[in-house]
Amino acid sequence: MNKPGLLDRRQVLTGVGGAIAIAATPLPAFASQEDLDRARRELFGDRLIQEGRVTVKLPPIAENGFSVPLNVSVESPMVADDYVKRVAILSPRNPLPNIAQFHFTPQSGKAVVATRIRMSGTQAIQAVAEMNDGSLWSGSMETVVTLAACVVL
Amino acid sequence: MIRASLLLCVFAISACQEAAQPSQQSALTIEEIRSGYTFLTAETQALQDDPFANPGLLWVDRGAELFQSTIAGEASCASCHEEGLHGVAATYPAVDESSGVLLNLEGRINQCRTQHQSLDALAYESEELLALTAYIFNQSHGLPANVDISGPAEAAYQRGYDYFQTRRGQFNLSCQHCHTENWGKQLRGDTISQGHGNGFPAYRLEWQSLGSLQRRLRDCDTGVRAEPLPFGDPRYIDVELYLAARSQGLALESPAVRR
Amino acid sequence: MASIRLAVPKTAQSGDIIEIKALIQHEMESGFRRGSRGEVIPRDIIVRFECSFEGVQIFAADFHPAIAANPLLTFHMRAEKSGRLLFEWTDQNGETWRDSADLEVI
């Protein structure tokens, strides 16, 4: 017999189980290396990507994943017949593999860009650059993202 | 998982208290006082020091506009405070002479609005109040806190001190336990700071926004699993006064960048 | 209303590569966070930034939710003549914010 106002054992167990299930489920399914590869194929197709010419700079340790300084530079003279068209920034561990895409022109003068990004955990950020001749180059860097002492969200 | 490991860490600190290490101290000495800035990584320090990219300056800019602007035909802040408010924020919280009430800068701004400008008080953490507070605090950048804790402020200072010393929340920790007795130690990825308020209003990376010192105090209370006080509660203003006096000459850094 | 901060040198020599910085106040709500009642906070982000000089695009960026709140961009331009730089941010709903800065080439 159920007393009004009191929870029976089943209700309590379902409630507790549900709460645990919610607490244990990270909201987004996090991306993986396969997701990064897929995102890269969507941007650049199956063309060959060579390592080099692209330098990714991140701090060795990021004290908060909400705002990590990122600097990407690509070796290029940035003149009308030899320049960087675009650079894609990709993550193997964020909820989404795409972070940003930067579009340059010969008037950019140099292919260097800096911004601040979100990183959900320690990972290697990859940058892929497409030159005006269609060739693709990449570089990457890993950063350790630490966990804050008192997480209050 | 994150919650669980946090619990463990904080219990570890609680356990430290029981062990009563002889080196633990009950007050900070002048020589060891350090701003929260010194606990940041070089990259975060550089962001605070950048006169362009410090994101807190977005609020300072907005505050400068609001300070000059006329709202609903009422006098602007600048029409009374023509010379600006250099050094003024450093003296807050301060006892209001007419009412005898301890006011922080947010309270003083709202008093101006309601008594002299016939405007509504601004809510805590509203963009406008944060902007005005940051703009006025920024005019005391580099100066040490210069609060009066004598006379009518003495009782408020004592209440703030008591709040800081009192165990609270499910973790049964006082502010003192982390920020006076265990600063410099690791708590997960963080180094525990001395808990000074000299950078506030500050841009916290965790908030991804500028926020008031009271928002920070609420986070600390929540962190030890205590019920935080409402924004603007007089008990938090007492704590603000105690913190300003406790920081013993540290330069004000608002808008600072903090974790 | 979004606050914008621009850092553009007032003058440059012809042929100089100048550094440009642009900062805008925006929460860049990722769509992956939950509120205090467990509800998902809807995504609200800037998706596009463009910088042009006298009508010619210099630099552009596409943003995803992993760009930090209050987006900051540092990029460059080869200065060849005097003129006006235009900066434009567009959010996911098509709302735009604009600002400009003048450059004198001497």
- Which A residues 58-97 touch B at CB under 8 Å? 59, 61-64, 66-67, 69
- Domains of chain A in start order, with CATH, are 28-145 (2.60.40.2470)
Give chain A's residues under pLDDT 50: 1-26, 153
The confidence score (pLDDT) of residue B12 equals 47
Q: Which residues contact B243 (CB under 8 A, 6 or more apart)?
A: B160, B164, B195, B196, B197, B213
The confidence score (pLDDT) of residue B9 equals 46
Percent of chain B with pLDDT over 90: 83
Partners of residue C7 in chain B, C-beta under 8 Å: 52
Inter-chain touch B205–A149, beta carbons under 8 Å = no
Mean pLDDT of C20-34: 96
Q: Does C84 touch chain A (CB under 8 A)?
A: no
Inter-chain touch A114–C77, beta carbons under 8 Å = no
> Using 50, 70 and 90 to split pLDDT, how confident is the model at B224?
very high
Nearest Cα residue in chain A from C81: A107
Inter-chain touch A66–B206, beta carbons under 8 Å = yes
The confidence score (pLDDT) of residue A19 equals 44
In chain C, where are the structural domains located? 4-105
The total of other beta-carbon atoms located within 10 Å of residue A99's CB is 25
Inter-chain touch B223–A150, beta carbons under 8 Å = yes
Mean pLDDT of B105-109: 97
Partners of residue B209 in chain C, C-beta under 8 Å: 27, 69-70
Mean pLDDT of B181-209: 94
- The C-alpha atoms of residue B149 and residue B157 are separated, in whole angstroms, by 6
Q: What integer best gives the mean pLDDT of chain B? A: 90
CA distances from B93 to B123, B215, C21, C27 (A): 18, 16, 37, 30
Q: Which residues contact B158 (CB under 8 A, 6 or more apart)?
A: none
Q: Does A152 touch chain B (CB under 8 A)?
A: yes
Sign of the torsion formed by the C-alpha atoms of B25, B31, B35 and B41:
negative
The confidence score (pLDDT) of residue B252 equals 98
Report domain C4-105's class: mainly beta
Mean pLDDT of B89-100: 95
Peptide bond between residue A28 and the one before it cis (omega within 30 degrees of 0): no
Among the partner-chain residues A24, A61, A148, the one whose CB lies closest to the CB of B188 is A148
Q: Is A137 helix (H, G, I), strand (E, B) or coil?
A: strand
The confidence score (pLDDT) of residue B251 equals 97
Question: How far A109 CA sits from the closest chain C CA (Å)?
Answer: 5
Q: What is the per-residue pLDDT across B38-86, written as a single tens digit (0 to 9) for each?
A: 999 999 999 999 999 999 999 999 999 999 998 878 889 999 999 999 9
Q: What integer best gives the mean pLDDT of chain C? A: 96
Inter-chain touch B208–A69, beta carbons under 8 Å = no
The confidence score (pLDDT) of residue A4 equals 45
Query: Cα angle at C14 between C11 and C19, to 5 degrees?
Result: 55
Complex-level ipTM beyond the 0.85 threshold: yes
Q: Report residue B139 as tokens.
A: 């005019």
State the alpha helices, DSSP H only, in B20-111.
Answer: 42-49, 57-68, 77-80, 105-111
CATH number of B34-259: 1.10.760.10
Is the pLDDT assigned to residue C1 strictly greater than 80?
Answer: no
Strand partners, A136: A49, A130
In chain B, where are the structural domains located? 34-259
Give all strands (DSSP E) within chain C, no chain letters. 4-7, 11-12, 17-24, 46-53, 56-63, 72-78, 83-91, 96-105
